């Protein structure tokens, strides 16, 4: 018996010695800044992600030799060989700066903290380098960043004030969900001017999911999701400033600052935009409105311990945009010059996020946001004003273990719109949506990964004359197949929905005049999917090529459409026949010696409204669109970029088609040690709609406006100074 006890105790001792937890700190660059890097262990499926402090922990259950492979965006991959038992319980890994590779990009929208190469869901990313380049062209907002992406269309909705919305795969802007750091505060009435009120200066990445993405994002994610990801603080303070001026009177001045200590960090964005009224075709109506706008966005990061991060932020944007008759805007109104369109907006978004690591591979994330959007629209003899309140709560639990990653969560969204004039025809409405969701990612093999998700939502929406409650069951599945080191493909499909709303691109163009309250309408429901194939290789030693070809298809049943009665009252009804959008995208990227890059993209879109008679093609959706960019960069010295775009014919509301057109731009930036100077020639071919036909029709007192299918302002030159400390 004594011998048995000794053997048992020896076994326990040996077993305990075969377990060790390493606390790993990952840094990079000259200043050894902490990196949110990923680590995989060779020969073992799964991985680990360091948090914003650059730390993570790995438990080894058996003694022996291991190879840790560490990667981070913008740094060279590093292999570290260790032997367990290790002499210490702490290990520091330092990465060298290197050329950014696509496989190293870590996406946040899927919540599993995986590199983009290992995510079954198709996610496109716009990285910091490209965001920085597009900021040269338009530092006021993200419109230029998205306009030049394949398959995305920034649709201008007002000829005089320049309002715009985002379309993916030809579908109306209300079917695309906009997020800022995962918070959905840009829907319904607050979607007005949203794309024009998100500045790019504090962004480190933009993530785009095309097609249905309902399990994690819920209603509204029918055409896709665009998530704008903010920068986080590093130990080395960062100070960036920009000063921009254009030849048409647009001025921008802004700055971004960040820094962190052991327990506290911060980021701060401040931006002021001003624009003078601009009338390029001398028809007395503005192509660029007079505007004044500012944004202040501070964020506080608290690190009570190595496993916990608390983030508190508040974003305030206020602006006034006035377009129309330029004589009115310049205070020279008279009996013949009276028309104007004025937009006053105030947007405030408060956010709170709690992120807790539990053990080596689990996380608990709680999010809360509250926002309000106050907008007033004034035109002669008419005003529309309203307040939109939105509250969002989300709690999720994420676990990564060996071959499986699981996301479980629930959220609740409250939205309330109140019309200020409170007339007998007020359009107040309230919606409440609660849901539970789950997503499972399975690494079946090293080359086969399956992601499946399910969301169940209960949505209640009501107004003074009508209310309805609906239940939605939304499955989604994605598959990633790697055929080898050069070939891979992704296939995904799912369902979605969009609750009824008065605030669409169509009603936006009419300033919501004579739009009746919602009555007896139901949610729009969709199903669709995407399938792509990727190829990547080196043609010769210094020339790399990446190709991607994607097919897409979406059907929206019972689409909400606007009808007009004999009295001129507009009301929404559910159409009996669906909307179909189908097509494909092709992207090619050529990189020569890391200095010369060529991007080519082509989109074919066949979008139809089956409820229409005769011409069923959706208006303002080009069937063919080609984008290209040639960029030369000598790091730390100079950047040069030449861009060209071709847009095919678009169907218009009057039954005609717009002509096809092309546009070109050129940008140059000279980089010095702590500052750079840039100049941008946007649309130097001066493509604009009023060269084909007058956009403004009728008298100056009661004008009508054509649909906007291309630029209205024409050739623009802007330049400025960027300072980095």
CA dihedral 200, 138, 650, 124 (to 10 degrees): -30
Judge whether residue 104 has pLDDT over 60. Answer: no
pLDDT in tens, 160-192: 777 888 899 999 989 999 999 999 988 888 887
Round to whole Å and give the CA distance between 91 and 50: 13
**Neighbouring residues of 454: CB distance < 8 A, sequence distance ≥ 6:** 215, 437, 438, 473, 474, 475, 476
At 173, phi and psi to the nearest 5?
-60, -25
pLDDT in tens, 211-220: 888 778 888 8
pLDDT in tens, 449-506: 999 999 999 999 999 999 999 999 999 999 999 998 899 999 999 999 999 999 998 9
At 67, phi and psi to the nearest 5?
-120, 115
Please give the residue that has the higher pLDDT: either 686 or 2.
686
pLDDT in tens, 327-379: 999 999 999 999 999 999 999 999 999 999 998 789 999 999 999 999 999 99
Residue 396 to residues 224, 356, 400, 454, 463, Cα–Cα distance (Å)? 21, 11, 13, 14, 31
- Could you tell me which residues are beta bridge partners of residue 285? 325
Residue 626 to residues 411, 545, 648, Cα–Cα distance (Å)? 39, 19, 9
Judge whether residue 604 has pLDDT over 80. Answer: yes
Q: Supply the pLDDT for residue 449.
A: 94
Judge whether residue 14 has pLDDT over 70. Answer: no
Q: How many CB atoms lie within 10 A of CB 358?
A: 12
HSE (CB half, 13 Å, CA atoms) of 283? 23
pLDDT in tens, 287-340: 999 999 999 999 999 999 999 999 999 999 999 999 999 999 999 999 999 999
For the residues 420-443, what does the mean pLDDT come to? 88
Computed over every residue of the chain, the mean pLDDT equals: 90
| CA R_g for the chain | 27
HSE (CB half, 13 Å, CA atoms) of 4? 1
pLDDT in tens, 611-621: 998 889 999 99
Judge whether residue 424 has pLDDT over 80. Answer: no
pLDDT in tens, 69-98: 898 766 778 889 888 888 888 899 988 865
Domains of the chain and any CATH numbers: 2-98 (2.60.40.10), 226-724 (2.40.170.20)
């Amino acid at each position: 018996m004594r011998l048995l006890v000794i053997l048992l105790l020896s076994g326990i001792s040996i077993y305990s010695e075969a377990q060790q937890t390493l606390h790993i700190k990952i840094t990079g660059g000259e200043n050894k800044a902490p990196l949110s890097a990923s680590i995989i262990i060779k020969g073992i499926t799964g991985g680990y992600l360091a948090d914003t402090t650059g730390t993570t922990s790995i438990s080894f259950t058996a003694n022996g030799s291991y190879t840790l492979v560490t990667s981070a965006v913008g740094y060279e991959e590093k292999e570290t060989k260790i032997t367990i038992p290790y002499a210490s319980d702490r290990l520091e890994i330092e990465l060298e700066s290197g050329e950014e590779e696509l496989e190293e990009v870590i996406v946040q929208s899927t919540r599993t903290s995986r590199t983009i190469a290992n995510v079954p869901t198709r996610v496109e990313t716009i990285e910091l380098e490209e965001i920085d380049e597009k900021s040269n062209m338009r530092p006021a907002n993200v419109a230029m960043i998205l306009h030049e992406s394949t398959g995305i269309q920034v649709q201008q909705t007002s000829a005089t004030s320049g309002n715009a919305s985002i379309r993916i795969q030809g579908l109306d802007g209300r079917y695309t969900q906009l997020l800022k750091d995962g918070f959905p505060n840009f829907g319904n009435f607050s979607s007005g001017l949203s794309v024009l009120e998100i500045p790019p200066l504090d962004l480190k990445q933009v993530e785009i999911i095309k097609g249905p993405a309902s399990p994690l994002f819920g209603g509204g994610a029918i055409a896709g999701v665009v998530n704008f990801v903010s920068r986080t603080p590093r130990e080395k303070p960062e100070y960036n400033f920009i000063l921009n001026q254009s030849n048409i009177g647009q001025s921008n001045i802004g700055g971004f600052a960040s820094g962190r200590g052991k327990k506290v960090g911060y980021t701060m964005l401040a931006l002021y935009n001003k624009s003078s009224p601009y009338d390029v075709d001398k028809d007395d109506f503005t192509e660029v409105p007079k505007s004044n706008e500012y944004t202040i966005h501070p964020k506080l990061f608290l690190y009570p311990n190595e496993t916990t991060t608390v983030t508190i932020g508040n974003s305030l944007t206020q602006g006034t945009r006035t377009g129309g008759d330029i004589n009115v805007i310049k205070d020279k109104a008279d009996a013949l010059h009276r028309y104007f369109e004025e937009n006053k907006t105030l947007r405030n978004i408060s956010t709170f996020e709690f992120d807790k690591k539990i053990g080596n591979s689990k996380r608990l994330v709680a999010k809360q946001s509250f926002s309000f959007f106050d907008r007033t629209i004034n035109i002669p003899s008419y005003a529309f004003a309203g307040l939109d309140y939105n509250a969002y709560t989300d709690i999720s639990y994420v676990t990564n273990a060996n071959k499986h990653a699981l996301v479980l969560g629930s959220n609740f969204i409250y939205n309330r719109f109140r019309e200020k004039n409170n007339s007998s025809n007020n359009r107040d409405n309230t919606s409440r949506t609660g849901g539970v969701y789950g997503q499972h990612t399975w690494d079946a093999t090293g080359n086969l990964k399956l992601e499946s998700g399910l969301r169940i939502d209960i949505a209640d929406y009501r107004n003074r004359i009508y209310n309805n409650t609906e239940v939605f069951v939304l499955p989604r599945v994605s598959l990633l197949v790697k055929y080898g080191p050069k070939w891979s493909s992704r296939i995904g499909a799912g369902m979605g929905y969009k609750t009824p709303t008065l605030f669409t691109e169509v009603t936006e163009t009419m300033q919501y005049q004579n739009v009746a309250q919602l009555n007896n309408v139901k949610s729009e429901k969709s199903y669709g999917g995407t399938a792509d194939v990727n190829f990547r290789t080196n043609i010769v030693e210094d020339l790399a090529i990446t190709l991607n070809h994607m097919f897409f298809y979406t059907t929206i049943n019972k689409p909400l459409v606007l009808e007009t009665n004999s009295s001129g009252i507009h009301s929404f009804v559910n159409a009996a026949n669906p909307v179909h959008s189908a097509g494909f995208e092709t992207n090619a990227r050529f990189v020569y010696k890391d200095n010369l890059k060529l991007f080519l993209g082509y989109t074919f879109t066949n979008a139809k409204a089956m409820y229409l008679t005769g011409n069923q093609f959706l208006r303002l959706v080009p069937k063919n669109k080609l984008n290209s960019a040639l960029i030369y960069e000598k790091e730390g010295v100079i950047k040069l970029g030449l861009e060209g775009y071709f847009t095919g014919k678009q169907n218009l509301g009057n039954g005609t088609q717009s002509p096809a057109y092309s546009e070109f731009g050129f940008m140059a930036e000279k980089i010095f040690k702590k500052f750079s100077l840039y100049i941008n020639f946007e649309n130097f071919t001066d493509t604009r709609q009023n060269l084909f036909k007058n956009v403004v029709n009728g008298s100056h007192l009661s004008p009508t406006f054509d649909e906007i299918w291309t630029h209205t302002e024409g050739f623009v030159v802007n330049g400025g100074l960027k300072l980095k400390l």
